[in-house]
């Protein structure tokens, strides 16, 4: 295929996604969706700016659950290393010479120096060497050698490999638990029903087209909120994507801690004339997976965005946006097409609209103007998300 708008193959719908699609079609005829909730609801704005709450969120949520840290295609070649500080932990993501991916602490086991100071760029390394006294490590974390080993007569050098975090590549995505005291990780069990959804999208063979990581002045939950309601699409996104979406309630449901949400696109009526095998999650609707606590997958017409929100403080996140494409661009037209897509989504929709308004809200909630915030009936999925956060934070230490 040699054209300017590459198509992504239609993803076969599993039973839960078919049910959501049927709900969207049924809702087209009704002004009020059957999903309408009886009540609006309230939220204490302190959840976005309380430093003590963030500490509990870190302990009870971010250090316990598998987090998606990226895509295996970012570490395409053996010897690839990516340093990134997340949740106060200096991390190394590596692909060793056998092709295996590891998540290690970027901290020397001699006297604790950071091995790689530069963050966020994938580099190629044969091994890792500490800048202080030059202890060297394999890319799987094993200690390779120390200068003047006779000066450490009692030390078990074999036990001084870099600390490893439990990690797993599943659906092409790199997952890890940010607690070196834990040893096991079960991503499929954690994802529950979402695991089967993801298996239909072929992420394993997808291409990481671009990644953009930056600090933004918002609480991490505000960006999770922004992608679990459709009330703002026609308003906030008027300059960009609003024309593609009717102003409807989404069809969504909780899946354990996670949420799958299907949002109607303007082409949804076309699906009525088609057999279910032709219903297209990317053309007739836009699917979002909100993977608890801090990941979002958004399925655009011919590419997929992953967003990770990593808290730095109550009012600041590292925001990491990655665009996956079905394959690497095969010609200049495909390259230009996905460059335009990335610029529009990353700088326009996310940067100038969703992140912008989240930063404005952060200033607003910290001002004391509101004793409570209000969620309307088109924003009801946010209630479940905040209830899940609160329940986990209340749990035992």
Residue 113: contacted member of Fe ion, ligand FES, none (CB under 5 to 8 Å, by partner type): ligand FES
| Contact string 198-237 vs Fe ion (x = CB under 5 A) | ----------------------------x-----------
Residue 82: contacted member of Fe ion, ligand FES, none (CB under 5 to 8 Å, by partner type): none
Nearest-angstrom CA–CA distance, 370 and 357? 17
Residue 108: contacted member of Fe ion, ligand FES, none (CB under 5 to 8 Å, by partner type): ligand FES
Closest CA to 172 of 206, 144, 214: 206
Is the CB of 34 or the CB of 132 nearer to ligand FES? 132
Nearest-angstrom CA–CA distance, 123 and 133? 21
Q: Does 334 bind Fe ion (CB under 5 A)?
A: no
**Residue 238 CB, nearest distance to Fe ion (Å)?**
11
The enclosing H or E element of 17 equals: helix 15-27
Give, in order, the Cα–Cα distances in Å from 36 to each of 259, 285, 348, 377: 17, 19, 30, 6
Residue 354: contacted member of Fe ion, ligand FES, none (CB under 5 to 8 Å, by partner type): Fe ion
**Residue 353 CB, nearest distance to Fe ion (Å)?**
6
**Residue 117 CB, nearest distance to ligand FES (Å)?**
12
The enclosing H or E element of 43 equals: strand 41-43
Q: Which of 138, 229, 354, 379 binds Fe ion (CB under 5 A)?
A: 354
Nearest-angstrom CA–CA distance, 11 and 281? 7
The enclosing H or E element of 392 equals: helix 381-394
**Residue 100 CB, nearest distance to ligand FES (Å)?**
24
**Residue 286 CB, nearest distance to Fe ion (Å)?**
11
354: helix, strand or coil: helix
Closest CA to 345 of 209, 200, 150: 209
Give, in order, the Cα–Cα distances in Å from 264 to each of 22, 61, 245, 252, 285: 11, 32, 6, 11, 4
Residue 133: contacted member of Fe ion, ligand FES, none (CB under 5 to 8 Å, by partner type): ligand FES
Residue 125: contacted member of ligand FES, Fe ion, none (CB under 5 to 8 Å, by partner type): none
Contacts with ligand FES by CB under 6 A lie at: 108, 110-111, 113, 130, 132-135
Q: What is the CA radius of gyration of the chain?
A: 22
**Residue 263 CB, nearest distance to Fe ion (Å)?**
10
Q: Which two tokens stand for residue 232?
A: 């703002």
The CA angle 65-361-245, to the nearest 5 degrees, is: 80
Residue 135: contacted member of Fe ion, ligand FES, none (CB under 5 to 8 Å, by partner type): ligand FES
Binding stretches for Fe ion (CB under 5 A): 226, 354
């Amino acid at each position: 295929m040699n054209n300017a708008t590459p198509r992504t193959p239609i993803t076969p719908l599993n039973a839960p996604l078919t049910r959501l699609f049927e709900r969207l079609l049924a809702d087209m005829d009704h002004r009020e969706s059957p999903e309408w909730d009886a009540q609006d609801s309230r939220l204490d704005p302190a959840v976005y700016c309380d430093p003590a709450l963030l500490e509990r969120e870190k302990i009870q949520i971010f250090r316990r659950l598998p987090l998606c840290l990226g895509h295996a295609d970012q570490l395409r070649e053996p010897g690839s290393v990516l340093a990134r500080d997340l949740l106060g932990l200096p991390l190394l993501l590596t692909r060793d010479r056998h092709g295996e991916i590891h998540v290690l602490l970027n901290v020397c086991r001699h006297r604790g120096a950071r091995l790689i100071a530069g963050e966020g760029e994938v580099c190629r390394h044969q091994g890792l060497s500490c800048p202080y006294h030059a202890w060297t490590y394999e890319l799987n974390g094993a200690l390779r050698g120390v200068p003047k080993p006779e000066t450490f007569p009692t030390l078990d050098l074999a036990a001084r490999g870099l600390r490893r975090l439990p990690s797993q590549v599943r659906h092409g995505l790199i997952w890890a638990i940010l607690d070196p005291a834990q040893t096991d990780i079960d991503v499929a069990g954690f994802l529950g029903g979402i695991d089967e959804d993801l298996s239909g999208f072929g992420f394993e063979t997808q291409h990481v087209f671009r990644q953009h990581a930056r600090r933004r002045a918002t609480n991490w939950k505000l960006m999770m909120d922004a992608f679990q309601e459709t009330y703002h699409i026609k308003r906030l996104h008027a300059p960009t994507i609003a024309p593609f979406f009717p102003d409807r309630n989404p069809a969504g449901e909780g899946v354990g801690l996670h949420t799958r949400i299907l949002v109607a696109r303007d082409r949804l009526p076309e699906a009525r004339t088609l057999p279910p095998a032709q219903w297209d999650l990317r053309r007739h609707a836009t699917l979002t997976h909100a993977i608890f606590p801090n990941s979002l997958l958004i399925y655009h017409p011919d590419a997929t965005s992953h967003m990770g929100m990593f808290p730095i403080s109550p009012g600041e996140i590292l925001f990491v946006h990655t665009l996956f494409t079905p394959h690497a661009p095969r010609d200049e037209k495909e390259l230009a097409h996905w460059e335009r897509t990335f610029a529009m989504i990353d700088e326009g929709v996310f940067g100038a609209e969703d992140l912008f308004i989240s930063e404005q809200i952060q200033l607003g909630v910290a001002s004391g103007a509101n004793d409570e915030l209000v969620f309307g009936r088109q924003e009801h999925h946010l209630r479940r998300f905040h209830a899940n956060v609160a329940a986990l934070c209340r749990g035992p230490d």
